[in-house]
Structure 1
Amino acid sequence: MSADYTRVRRVGGVLARMSAEARDDEGARAIQAVLRKRGVPLQASGFAEALPRDATSRLPLVEEGQWPATPAFLTEEVGRTTSRFIEDAKNIALLAEKGVSARLGMLLHGAPGTGKSLLASYVAALLERPIYVVRLDSMISSRLGETAKNVRGVFEFMASREGVLFLDEMDAIAKVRDDKHELGELKRVVNTVLQGLDSLPDSVVVIGATNHPHLLDPAIWRRFPYKAELPLPDLSVRSAMWRHFLYANDDAREKDVAVLARISEGLSGADVENISLAARRREILDGDALPFPQLLLSALASRAGNPSLPDRRDLSAPERQKIAVALHKKANIKVSEIGRIMGVSRQMAHRYLKEDGNAE
């Protein structure tokens, strides 16, 4: 490839996605791990793509992201919106030919850990386009006028590329302009963002994301025809995530998947993934499966954005009672089955519930 580092990354991304589609998750992660090393010898050869940079720090304003090696787990509504958006993006040329405005943008909003960045990369992968992620640490400058200049530089860079521009944390550069607490400089930045979005050719797909949709300027909302709120995962999505990340789609663990999905209500997708991968690390390093009650306690002790990672320590009596009560209340599991899951007698399981006032 003539030491073309950018092309190496893109082809590597294709290989990682192909491995993931073939259910070779380990191979996909291995390829991505190599790509993340950023190939210092190739970069030194001078063939890396020239990215726009901040004039003072010389840091790049965007970086090319990687296509994901794991699937995106979406609710039915978000899945429909995403499918329509991808279909339109794949047919931009036809839409433009028929005189239908084809400039496409999708705005994602939702709590942290709900998969906004993953979904943006997933869309780029399905469109088979590179994804350019804006780096806010480089974009925002303390020098008067530099931030707006950097914003213009990013849009000028994207104008000549058929790629996906991902504007994460958009509220940092696109706050509502009547905010009396903001300086005039940031209000000018918002105008620059709007002008940049309007200047892009139809061939550029833009995806924005924010954790704080109420902070965005109304004019920003109008620039994105497609909008999707990514909620915390529902029961079916949680089931799919536990099945994929923890049990590698092992059909024999369906009962355990169902239990975990019910008691993990309120957790984000990132929380489920982190708990699952932590459990798998323990199993690999310890050479033995992690007891199921320890997994249940980890899910129960977690809060959205703050997962409690599982370990092998012996559970205390109050912890065992907490798990038993949760199995009864949240998963509607009978006493005999609770005893089996906890590895105790039916009488002990009944005692746990009775002490909490939940005996059948």
Structure 2
Amino acid sequence: MSFPHLSEVLKILDGALRSNATMSTNYAGLLADKLEQDGEREIAIRIRERLARAPTAVAHAQDAAGLIGGLPVDSESRLDTLDISKPPKGSVHLCLPGGTAKRIDEFLQCVKHYDRLRNAHAAMPLRMLLYGAPGTGKTQSARWIASELGLPLLTARCDTLVSSLLGQTSKNLRRIFDYVEQRPCVLFLDEFDALASARGNERDIGELQRVVIALLQNIDALSDNTVLLAASNHEKLLDPAVWRRFPFQLPLPLPDAVLRKEMWESMLGSYAPDSLDWHTLTVKSAGATGALIEQVSLDAKRHAVLDGRAVVDDGELFRRLSLSFALVQGHSPASLSDEIAWLRQWDAKIFSLRELARLYNVSTRQINHFVQGEHGNAGKPTRKRGAQGH
């Protein structure tokens, strides 16, 4: 027999049995929200009225749990080990390939209908591992999932947990997992490879091995219906045992041509000029991450605003895209001549001598001197505002 919202009822009961009023009240509030969404407004009101009569000061042994102001803290530095945000629904724009977006939606449906799936013996622990190159949308995906679920996002920076106080890492982990069990939320373990690196390699020390073991134990002890997300830029470094703890595993690839065009259109918006060659922009941005496309778009729009333009300049957009690729590939043009040489090498058709002269506000002859390496100190062109800023 199906019993709606059994998860919340059991969490309320767990809180009562543990004398944890915080846990009971948090999940009672979530239960009221879900009942109201189901049309049971009268019952939701009665639950909220009962909660309103509860004491405002809930004793939950903050010192014993290592909590300050409600957040878990590192016992020595006294700094919070979690960042909390609650992105409103609809506030996060997520651009992912169709197949990837579908798999995230499937995960969301498993979260929203967990009780139904459990009654059918088809539920899996609500844990997803996101992995891929930096800038492919892992953090944005976590924010989007939290916003769609209407839950706060609790982000633990795993590299900080490990590097700040190595001997305290296991204790910090325990406090984080205890904390998230007390309230409806999405726990996001960012930079996961810093915490869950494979055991047994030559660089390992005993403490790091104990951290991985503590991490696995904490994940195993976590309720199956608590949403846990983890993100890694270096998935090959992860311990094999970690993968088995995440039934949902999602690689985030670089955006394909269709998605790149969609991203450019979305991020440039009304600042896109009518003359913009979308096909060339899409082709020339092959290999770019979503984060790079977003940054180039923002830079080009800022340049347009500061120049008093209603739309971005086509050539300026391509210039900033090209220079972004230079930085990604480890090149950093140190002078104007280096910059022009890079642009010509990147695409001599887009950056013709005439176009470069226009962009840098100099004569074609001066640009030609730069290209041929014949310029001297006396012939340096005056740089246009924003010519090197990127």
Q: Shift in Å at residue 275 of structure 1?
A: 0.7
Residue 293 (structure 1) aligns with: 315
Structure 1 residue 277 corresponds to structure 2 residue 298: yes
Cα shift at 1:315: 12
The residue aligned with 1:264 is 285
Correspondence for 1:45: none
Whether the 8 Å contact between 1:162 and 1:203 is mirrored in structure 2 is no
Bigger mean CA deviation after superposition, 63-72 or 164-173: 63-72
> Where does residue 96 of structure 1 map in the other structure?
118
Alpha carbons of structure 1 residues 231 and 315: separation in structure 2 relative to 1, 3 Å: same
2:213 to 186, 191, 194: 191
Q: Which residue of 102, 114, 139 maps to 2:161?
A: 139
Following TM superposition, by how much is the alpha carbon of 1:66 offset from its aligned partner in structure 2, in angstroms? 4.1
- Among 81, 95, 99, the alignment partner of 1:61 is 81
Q: In structure 1, list runs of 5 or more residues that go unmatched.
A: 1-6, 8-47, 329-334, 353-360
Matches within 5 A, 1:120-269: 120-136=142-158, 138-140=160-162, 145-248=167-270, 253=274, 256-269=277-290
**Contact 2:87/2:147 (8 A) holds in 1:** yes
Q: What's the TM-score, normalizing by structure 1?
A: 0.70
Cα gap change, 1:92/1:305 in structure 2, threshold over 3 Å: closer, same or farther? farther
Change (3 A) 1:146 1:279: same
Amino acid at match of 1:265: A
C-alpha separation between the residues in 1 aligned to 2:232 and 2:349? 33
Q: Distance in 2 between matches of 1:82 and 1:324?
A: 37
Partners of 2:198 and 2:123 lie apart in 1 by 26
Q: Supply the AA of the counterpart residue of 2:256.
A: D
Cα separation, 1, equivalents of 2:343 and 2:126: 52
**Under a length normalisation based on structure 2, what TM-score does the superposition of the two structures give?**
0.65
Change (3 A) 1:299 1:317: closer
Aligned length, in residue pairs = 288
How has the CA–CA distance of structure 1 residues 67 and 110 changed in structure 2, closer, same or farther, with 3 Å as cutoff? same
Alpha-carbon shift at residue 93 of structure 1 (Å): 1.7
Identify the residue that residue 331 of structure 1 maps to in structure 2: none
* Partner AA of 1:90 in structure 2: K
Matches within 5 A, 1:74-85: 74-85=96-107
- Give 1:83 shift: 1.4
Question: Secondary structure of 2:198's partner?
Answer: coil
Q: 299-308 vs 143-152, which deviates more? A: 299-308
Question: Which structure's CA Rg is the greater one?
Answer: 2
1:50 and 2:65 aligned: no
SS in 2 for 1:303: helix
Provide the identity percentage: 35
Residue identity in the other structure for 1:268: T
Rate the CA distance shift 1:162–1:304 in 2: closer, same or farther, 3 A. farther
The 8 Å contact of residues 74 and 237 in structure 1, kept in 2 or not, is answered as yes
Q: CA deviation at 1:282?
A: 1.2
Determine helix, strand or coil for the equivalent of 1:133: strand
Alignment of 1:267-346 (within 5 A): 267-288=288-309, 289-303=311-325, 306=328, 322=345, 325=348
CA contact (8 A) 1:54 1:138 kept: no
Partner of 1:40: none
Aligned residues of 2:300 and 2:312 also touching (Cα < 8 A): yes
- Call closer, same or farther: CA 1:125–1:248 in 2, change over 3 Å: farther
Unaligned 5+ segments in structure 2 are 1-25, 27-67, 359-363, 369-390
Residue identity matched to 1:62: L
**Aligned partner of 2:82: which letter?**
V
Query: What is the match of residue 37 of structure 1?
Result: none
Q: Which stretch has the larger CA shift, 123-132 or 314-323?
A: 314-323
Counterpart residue type for residue 116 of structure 1:
K
CA offset digits 1:263-289 (Å, max 9, x no partner): 111111111111100111111122024
**Contact 2:304–2:313, Cα closer than 8 Å, also in 1:** no
Mapped to 1, the partners of 2:339 and 2:110 lie a distance apart of 55
What letter matches 1:264 in structure 2? S
Is the 2:129–2:229 Cα contact (8 Å) retained in structure 1?
A: yes
SS at structure 1 position matched to 2:325: coil
